[in-house]
Every structure is written in C-alpha cells, then in structure tokens.
Amino acid sequence: MHPACNKPDYFSHRPIPLWFGFLFLFLLELIYNLNIRHLAGTNAIGMSALNAALYTAILALCLNCNLERITIFYLALPYLLFLPGWLNTPTAILMTCIFLYCTFQTLKYTNNTISRIPLTTRELSAFCLIIAWINLSGSGGYGYQSWDYVMHNSRLNDLIQKSWPVHYGKDLNLIYYVGYYLPSAAIGKLFGYIAATRSMFFWTLLGATLALRWAGQLSGWKLGTGLVIACVFFGPMDAAGLAWEIYNALPFPDSFTLQEATNIILNDTDTLDFWASNSLGFFNGNFLSNTFQMYWAPQHIIPGWLVISIITFYFLGNNTRNIVFIFCLLCLWSPLVMLSMAIFPLIAILNARQEKNKEWLSISNTIGATSITLLFIAFYFGGSAMKNHFAWTLSEIDNPIKLVTLLLFYLFAWGMYVSVIIKNHTIYNHQQKIWLAGLITTMLLLPLYIYGEYSDLLCRGSAPIMFLLMTFLLHLIKEKRKSRPEKAIIPILAFLLLGAGSTSALLQLHTSFKKYGENRPIIQVTEYKHAPENLGSDNSFFARFFRGKVSQ
C-alpha cells in the first residue's frame, strides 16, 4: 500500500478539458432525464445542466484539490452545524472554538504528497460508473430505496421540519449519529425537503468518489473503471457459506424446486448475506459487501471508508500528529464504526511511542480528540446506548454444527483473502505488516460480541475493515502484475473468482434495477418500531448540562 502516490503514466490517456467533461455529463444526464425520469422540454434541459454542473464540480474537487484537506473538510462540516445547533450557548462557544482550532491545525499539517490527477477518459468513465452506482442506491430519491430508507427519509424530514436540537416531547429527544444528514438538512431548512433529498445524492456521491480516490491511492491503482468495479463487487464469499447452509438443510421436501430456491434468494437477499444465522440459531451479522453497505447504510459507510483511508495513509507515512483527532471525527457520524476501528489509533500511538516520536501528543490528538469524544459519550449515553441488545457469541455456541458454522463464517468472510495476503507477505514493509496485524485482530474480534438487535456493531463496523482488506488485496494484485506478470493470475483469481461476494452485490444491483424508482414513505421517528433506539431522556447528563433549549 502506498503512503505516497507514484507518478502515473498518462501517455495512453491524454488529458481532456473540464468543459468537455461537463458536456459529456450533461448529455448523459439529459438522456437519463428524458428516458428514465420522463422529464420534458426546458425541465429536462435545466435539470440536466444543473446536475452536470454539480457533477463537474465534484469531479474537479476530487481530482484537483488536496485529497487530505477535502476529506477532512467533508468529515468536519457536520460538526459546524451540530455544535451550535444542539448545544447550549457556553458549551457551543467552547466546543466550536476547540473544534475549529484543531481542524485548522490538522489542515495546516497536510501536504501535497498525493498527486493531483488530470482529467482523462479513464477518470471520466470511472466517475460515470460511480454516479450510476450511487443513483441505483436510492440516495436522493433515485433508484430503489431499501427499507432502511424509511428512517433515512424520516430523520432528514424531522431535521428539516423541527428546531435543533430535535425534541418530540417529554423524554423524547432525538439521540442519533446525524453527521451524514446535517448538511442536507441545512439546505432543506432553506429550500425544502425535495432540495434536501436531492442534495443528499450529491453529498453521497462526493463521499463515495473521495473514498474511491483513497482506494486508488492506498493500493496504487489508477482511478479507472477497474478500480470502481472492484469496489462495487468486493465482499465476503457468501455463496460458499450458502452452500454450507443448503447442505445442512438437506433433504428438501419433494415439492421444493430449484426455481423456488432461486426466487427466495433473488427476492430476499438476507438469505445470502446472513447465511450463518440460521445454523447458529441467532442473528450474528456479517462482513457485508460494499454495495450492500452503500445501499442500506451510507451514514455509517462513507465516513468509515474515509477515516480508515486517511489514518492508514498517515500511519504508513509515519505521521501521527493528527491521527487520533481524525479518528474521533467519527463521533458524530458513526460511533459503531468508530468502536470497530479503535485498535488502529491505538496501534499508531504505541508504534510512535516505541520509535520515541512525540508528534502524537499534539493539541488536536489530546485536547481536541478527548473533548469531542467525551461530549458524544454524554450525548449517546443519554439515549439507548446501554439499553440495546448485546450478547457474547461464544456463549451461544453449544453444539458441533454451530462451531463448524462459526469457523466457516470466518473462513468465507475474510479468511481466504487473508491467506492469500499472508502467502505473499514479502511484498509488504514493516509498517504495512503492523497495520495488517491490526486488521486481522479486528476481524477476529468483531464477530465475538453482538451489539444491537441486528448485530449493528459487526454489520456496520465491518465496512471500513472490509474496505481496508480490499486495498491490501488490490495492492497485492498491483505488485504481482509489476514484479511477476505471469503469476498475477493467482491473486486475481483469489480476489475476483473465489470472491463470491460479488453475488451479494449482483443481487443488490438486480433488486435496484428491478424496483427502480420505488421510494420509502416519510414517518415521524417516534412512530418507527425501533424508535426507542433513537430517543433519549430529558434527565440525562447531556440534556441537563450541554443541550441547547428545545422547542416544546
């Protein structure tokens, strides 16, 4: 994995001007609006021009701006809305000052080791694939919205319609990681819900494109269609796990046909994605495919991808000055993802101490990270943080079938991938091996503790872990092709052919194509069946000492 970008060879792809990119994107958008959204006349032209302009701006930002700075800005922006919007005046002033100082210090010590990328047909075609991927996800009201969008849409609507901090009545305070929603909610307060939900599409697109740039940066791959396809289809080897479940279920009733089995898998992707739960007798979650994660929980996934990428880049470059502060930016975005990644900043600190590097004792890493973390511990403990379901996985393993299933779960989720990496460990340097050890340790530990009714700690927390695993594999393929082209087929086959995680992505994409345009309704958060998980008391420590005035 590359802490600094190798200078790519662009002789085969001549740079093209940005205006050409705009015209190309405008034509594609116009075709889409006329044929898919069935807009007509000036509406189609005006909407296509506006969207193409926004696409071009995102493309220019991701290719030509400092990748570290734009990523930090993306992660920090929601805090500038939350801190004055949710906190009482003294706390808001103090926390905003600390946050701004630490953010500026972090931005100050970024550098230009990551090369800016000229726009060529390769980058333009890759960006078009990313647009199509996000369009199908349901973000912004396009594509097909999974059932989790009932809450995505409803949270966004409540953040628009209600004053901040959001309060529904006595002991009914919204306690949720709202980082993903806040920029769009701020737009919605000015221009309404439709503008907010459309802006969320571009907010998601920007985050996904930044994540793909980081994947290329860390793996050494260029930002092309190959990289995007690899990211879209990467996931666990669930087809092998499903085969084990089918074997356990034999013999089937005589009336059960192959067509019926196929229909079950096509119409209920949980059968594939959570194959181990049936034999284990409880819902244990999974290390899910990138597409599944993006289509169900972008509020967790995008920040996880970005943070794991930037702290990996810093660690491999022996830069620990702001690594803990950047890690703690996950507080407002996804505490579950933050918990799943906790071993990585710890590794960075221990490694820095061993090398007698005191850079990690910066104000950002100490005062900034500590103050943000303590504030959000108080915030989340004011809700259901200690009331959600939890259990130890090993305590539920009470027969040989369950034990074998758990071992196969590890093997098919990531074990086969890691075996390929370990077999080729000589291509990794000392820092990379330390980081890989942290990755393997995390993947071993995450499934052992179930938190949340749907094993949210594993399901959502595994997203950045799988993303990092993907970059290790892509780097391996890159190095194999460079050093021994005749043997490059080995890791490529392990990654693409054995990696039946593409089955999960294919099923998600199949559903999105089949049900394109199907959106979820808007309800009030308090009406949702899992509403208690999102609500907190008026008597919590946060509500009594830090919360701003609520509207009754």
Domain boundaries, the chain: 65-247+268-506+518-545
- How far is residue 11 from each of residues 7, 8, 114, 122, 483, measured CA to CA in Å? 12, 9, 20, 12, 21
pLDDT in tens, 310-363: 999 999 998 898 999 999 999 999 999 999 999 999 999 999 888 777 888 899
Question: What pLDDT is attached to residue 256?
Answer: 59
Measured CA to CA, the distance from residue 249 to residue 275 in angstroms comes to: 12
Collapsing DSSP to helix, strand or coil, 1 comes out as coil
pLDDT at residue 171 greater than cutoff 90: no
The label of the residue with tokens 């009714």 reads 453
Please report, for residues 349, 413, 466, the alpha-carbon distance to residue 440 in angstroms, rounded to integers and kept in the order given: 18, 12, 11
How crowded is residue 409: how many other Cβ atoms within 10 Å of its Cβ?
Answer: 26
Q: What is the pLDDT of residue 478?
A: 85
Whether the pLDDT of residue 154 is over 70: the answer is: yes
For residue 354, the model assigns a pLDDT of 83
Report the alpha-carbon distance of residue 130 to residue 430 in Å, rounded. 34
pLDDT at 396: 85
Average pLDDT of the chain, as a whole number = 88
Instruction: Tell me the pLDDT tens digit for each residue of 426-444.
Output: 889 999 999 999 999 999 9
> Whole-angstrom Cα distance, residue 188 to residue 329?
24
Residue 52 to residue 26: CA distance in whole angstroms = 5
SS (H, E, C) 212-258: HHHHHHHHCCCCCHHHHHHHHHCCCCHHHHHHHHHHHHCCCCCCCCH
The arithmetic mean of pLDDT across residues 392-407, rounded, is 89
Name the more confident of 33 and 266. 33
The whole-number average pLDDT for the span 153-177 is: 93
Distance CA 175, CA 236 (A): 32
456-481: average pLDDT: 91
Burial of residue 99 (number of CB atoms within 10 Å: 0-12, 13-18, 19+): buried
Q: What is the pLDDT of residue 202?
A: 97
Is the model's pTM score more than 0.75?
yes
pLDDT band for position 11 (50/70/90)?
very low
**What single-letter amino acid sits at 68?**
E
